[in-house]
């Protein structure tokens, strides 16, 4: 996901309860201190624009009396602010793969699981690396590897569950390739198709090194060129081999473009300039909402996953710290989870999100069942007509098919240098 700051499809929910109606009608206020409403607090929320919804901010204001002040920056700048200016924000929404850079700084503290109302309900994708009791792929920075700290102020990850949590999940998903089935006109089942000469000049890979390299590794492995020990932490020889494969394809004219932001990926697919490319789920939804066939294609080798979550700076104290916990507990209590699920993301606590969704919505988004009714975005925009089935099927099928996670490699500097050579080749 790295620079999702350009994602302009963040869907807005127009109808929000306010004041007494919110308190009486949502049922979300149970367990939330009423003192917050009496003593207004503003929380500075640092993150990428994609996770910063004005509808969530309005709902938090209505339910808790907390004002959310968004600080929208790129993913890389989220990390820079955490490391260099921990006093400039109150809540950070950052990626799990960034934690290996962030935790050593000591600027993020472990969150007290005893203060997180739904801590024991967080999906085992994060706490155990499992879906429905089965282990999933954990190459790269799988959240379970970095979910707990040894102590509240520790700079070391714990190898088993502790009271101290690094990040409370906000959004996560499993990514694959987007295709134009109307233009390809045959089944696509493997990552290797991205470099199939059949699609010469009509393929694209995203130009965000830490993610693009993972997509490239999925392709290289699918081609049978090389089997990686860990696609999320390659050796220099593996990086050389991966980049040579990409450079050879580029010189042969395989790629139409290298996109960096959401809108670029949408425009490439909608125009038909590309027929197969790296994509993000909401971008596929955006193309489809334009009346253009586009599929987020499940592939036999599995998915590349990503995850983001809330972290708290060591500088947070007193009333603001209490408010931050109240906000995070609210975020896990259902409304926000349903809001995110309706956009194709996944939420941290499934049972509260389910309780906030209509049964037909849950069946479509999470169970992989044909839509009993038209599926609409939070703002009422038609996303899918009745009878449609979500790409990738159920939550268990999709998250259960994860092969690797976004990561920061030990050889990150070398990787970026080699990636830039590929783009310039």
The average pLDDT across 234-241 equals: 98
Residue 124 tokens, joined: 């085992």
What is the rounded average pLDDT for all residues in the chain?
Answer: 90
Segment 167-194, tens digit of pLDDT: 999 999 999 999 999 999 999 999 999 9
The per-residue pLDDT for range 154-169, each reduced to its tens digit, is 999 999 999 999 999 9
28 confidence band (pLDDT: 50, 70, 90): very low
**Are the beta carbons of 405 and 139 closer than 8 angstroms?**
yes
Indicate if the pLDDT at residue 37 is higher than 70: no
- E strands of 65-223, at which residues? 66-72, 91-95, 108-109, 111-112, 130-131, 134-135, 148-149, 164-165, 168-175, 177-179, 203-206
Rg, Å, the chain Cα set: 21
* pLDDT(58) > 60: yes
Instruction: Check: CB of residue 266 under 8 Å from CB of residue 366.
Output: no
pTM above 0.85, yes or no: yes
Mean pLDDT, range 279-306, rounded to an integer: 92
Query: Structure tokens of 27?
Result: 């049922």
Provide mean pLDDT across the span 98-113.
96
Residue 22 has pLDDT above 50, yes or no: no
Helix segments in 332-411, DSSP class H? 335-341, 350-355, 359-365, 395-399
The pLDDT value recorded for residue 383 is: 86
User: Does position 198 have pLDDT exceeding 80, yes or no?
Assistant: yes
Residue 42 pLDDT level (bands cut at 50, 70, 90): very high
At 48 the pLDDT is 87
Q: How far apart are CA 319 and CA 37, in angstroms?
A: 12
Using CA atoms, how far apart are residues 133 and 131, in angstroms rounded to an integer?
Answer: 5
User: What is the signed CA dihedral for 296, 177, 417, 420, rounded to 10 degrees?
Assistant: -90
What is the structure's pLDDT at 51?
Answer: 75
What percentage of residues in the chain have a pLDDT greater than 70?
A: 91
Q: Which two tokens stand for residue 415?
A: 């990787």
Q: What is the pLDDT of residue 15?
A: 30
- Over residues 359-382, the pLDDT tens digits come to 999 999 999 999 999 999 888 888
Mean pLDDT of 347-369: 97
| Mean pLDDT to the nearest integer, 206-225 | 95
Amino acid 219: pLDDT: 98
pLDDT at 5 over 50: no
- Greater confidence (377 vs 97) lies with 97
Which of the four pLDDT bands, split at 50, 70 and 90, describes residue 25?
A: very low
Query: In the prediction, which pLDDT does 32 show?
Result: 52
């Amino acid at each position: 996901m790295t620079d999702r700051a350009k994602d302009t499809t963040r869907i807005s929910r127009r109808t929000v309860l306010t004041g007494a109606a919110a308190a009486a009608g949502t049922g979300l206020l149970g367990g939330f201190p009423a003192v917050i409403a009496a003593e207004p607090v503003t929380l500075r929320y640092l993150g990428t624009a994609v996770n910063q919804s004005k509808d969530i901010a309005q709902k938090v204001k209505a339910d808790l009396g907390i004002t959310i002040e968004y600080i929208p920056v790129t993913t890389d700048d989220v990390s820079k602010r955490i490391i260099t200016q921990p006093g400039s924000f109150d809540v950070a929404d950052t990626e799990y793969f960034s934690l290996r850079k962030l935790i050593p700084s000591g600027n993020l503290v472990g969150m007290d699981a005893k203060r997180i109302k739904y801590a024991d309900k967080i999906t085992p994708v994060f706490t155990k690396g499992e879906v429905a009791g089965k282990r999933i792929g954990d190459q790269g920075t799988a959240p379970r590897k970095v979910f707990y700290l040894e102590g509240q102020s520790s700079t070391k990850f714990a190898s088993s569950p502790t009271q101290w949590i690094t990040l409370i999940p906000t959004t996560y998903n499993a990514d694959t390739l987007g295709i134009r089935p109307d233009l390809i006109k045959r089944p696509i089942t493997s990552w290797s198709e991205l470099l199939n000469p059949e699609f010469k000049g009509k393929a694209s890979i995203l130009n965000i090194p830490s993610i693009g390299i993972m997509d490239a590794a999925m392709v290289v492995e699918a081609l049978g060129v090389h089997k990686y020990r860990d696609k999320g932490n390659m050796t220099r020889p593996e990086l050389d081999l991966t980049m040579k494969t990409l450079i050879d394809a580029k010189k042969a004219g395989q790629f139409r473009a290298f996109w960096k932001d959401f809108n670029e990926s949408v425009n490439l697919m909608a125009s038909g300039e590309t027929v197969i490319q790296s994509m993000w789920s909401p971008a596929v939804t955006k193309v489809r909402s334009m009346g253009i066939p586009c599929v987020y294609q499940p592939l036999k080798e599995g998915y590349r996953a990503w995850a983001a979550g809330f972290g708290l700076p060591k500088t947070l104290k007193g009333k603001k710290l209490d408010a931050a916990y109240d906000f995070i507990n609210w975020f896990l209590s259902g409304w926000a989870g349903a809001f995110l699920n309706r956009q194709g993301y996944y939420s941290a606590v499934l049972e509260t999100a389910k309780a906030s969704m209509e049964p037909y919505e849950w069946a479509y988004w999470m169970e992989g069942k044909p839509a009993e009714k038209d599926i609409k975005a939070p703002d009422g925009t038609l996303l899918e007509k009745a009878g449609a089935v979500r790409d990738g099927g159920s939550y268990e099928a999709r998250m259960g098919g994860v092969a690797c996670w976004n990561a920061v490699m030990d050889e990150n500097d070398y990787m970026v240098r080699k990636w830039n050579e590929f783009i310039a080749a």
